[in-house]
Amino acid sequence: MSCIFCQIVAGEIPSDRVLETEDLVVFRDIQAQAPTHLLVVPRRHVGSLDELEDPALAGELLVTAGRVAREAGLDRGWRLIANTGVEGGQEVPHLHLHVLGGRPLGRMLSA
Ligand code: 5GP
Ligand code: ZN
């Protein structure tokens, strides 16, 4: 299995997990861009939002992002990012949502 997030989900690569559900794993980004930087990742390999066809999984991803943001105490606001594809800046080809917060995040895009 070559996908790094599949390996993290399987426990073959360690991660700092904050939540596990039947369908999702949430862990801390190894290169945090904000005081809170979580990755919401489906257990099942889906390449990106371009390949996501399951509305139930889509809903669970969003609801879980909100849940972990609340549990992280991000009551002043937070940001959800889904980098998708080459021009979207996606580096890991396994669908994931970034939950970022804990400082003012500024404008949405810097370039
Ligand atoms: P992307 O650019 O694909 O949206 O984001 C991939 C994210 O995965 C990056 O923020 C990167 O820091 C994170 N990442 C890459 N490899 C690992 C890893 O092995 N463990 C963890 N926890 N995060 C990783
Ligand atoms: Zn994968």
pLDDT in the model for residue 109: 87
Cα of 92 vs centre of ligand 1, distance in Å, is 7
pLDDT per position as a tens digit, 63-85 = 999 999 999 999 999 999 999 99
pLDDT per position as a tens digit, 8-53 = 999 999 999 999 999 999 999 999 999 999 999 999 999 999 999 9
CB-neighbour burial class of residue 67 (10 A; exposed 0-12, middle 13-18, buried 19+)? middle
- Residue 81's SS3 state is strand
The band of 111, judged by pLDDT with boundaries at 50, 70 and 90, is low
Contact partners, residue 74, CB within 8 Å, separation at least 6 = 36, 99, 101, 102
CA distance 111 to 98: 19
* Binding-site residues, ligand 1, Cβ < 6 A: 4, 13, 15, 27-31, 83, 89-92
Catalytic residues, by residue number, are 96
Scanning the chain, the segments in alpha helix (DSSP H) are 4-9, 55-71
| pTM beyond 0.75 | yes
Cα of 94 vs centre of ligand 2, distance in Å, is 5
